[in-house]
Chains A and B, each alone.
Chain A
Amino acid sequence: MDIVQVVGPLVCTRRHPGLHQYSLRLLRDAKGKYLVALDTCSSRPGNWVFVVSGSAARHGCGDPAVVTDLIIGGVIDFWDEQNGQA
């Protein structure tokens, strides 16, 4: 699991049926690289969150048939970016 920051929502009207209507978030990791994750815990832009990757992500959202490899596992209450400490 990795710690990343939410940049904002990502809109995809045309999507694979397996993605259902789950909302997507654009995230940025520590190296500045952009990622997309499925969001089930209503994160807001600027929030620091932890993400679950791989096939564990599919079980994390409650439906193992969902086609995702990354979901937001939870919103971190307090996170200091400089020290990397909660």
Chain B
Amino acid sequence: MKIYKVEKPLVATNRIPGMEHKHLQVVLDGKTRAVAVDSVGCSPGDWVICVGSSAARDAAGSRDYPSDLTIVGIIDYWDEGQG
């Protein structure tokens, strides 16, 4: 699992049917941006942990969900200096 900072929600109305209406978040790994499915309900500025691989699909709701990055937890305390 990797640590990311939530930047902002991502709104995409026109999407493939498999993506359903799940919330998407823009997450930052240093300066690199990625998009993750939000399964816990996080807010901008939160430090979160994300899973990839087959766990990302399961965590997003079902084995068939087309996600390769899903937020599975919000870190209670994170010192930005160490990361």
Contact = CB atoms under 8 A, between A and B. Distances in A.
B76 A54 contact: no
Contacts, number: 79
Contact of A67 (B3, B58, B77): B58
A16 B73 contact: yes
B59 interface: yes
A15 B40 contact: yes
B55 A55 contact: yes
A65 B58 CA distance: 8
Interface residues of B, number: 24
B2 interface: yes
Interface in B1-40: 1-3, 39-40
Majority secondary structure, B binding face: mixed
A34 interface: yes
Contacts of A11: 75-77
Range of interface residues on A (Cβ < 8 Å): 20 to 34
A60 to B, nearest CB: 12
Contacts of A66: 55
Nearest to A56: B53
Central interface residue in B2, B74, B75, B83, by most chain A CB within 10 Å: B75
B49 A55 contact: no
Interface of A: 7, 10-16, 18-19, 24, 34-38, 53-55, 57-58, 65-70
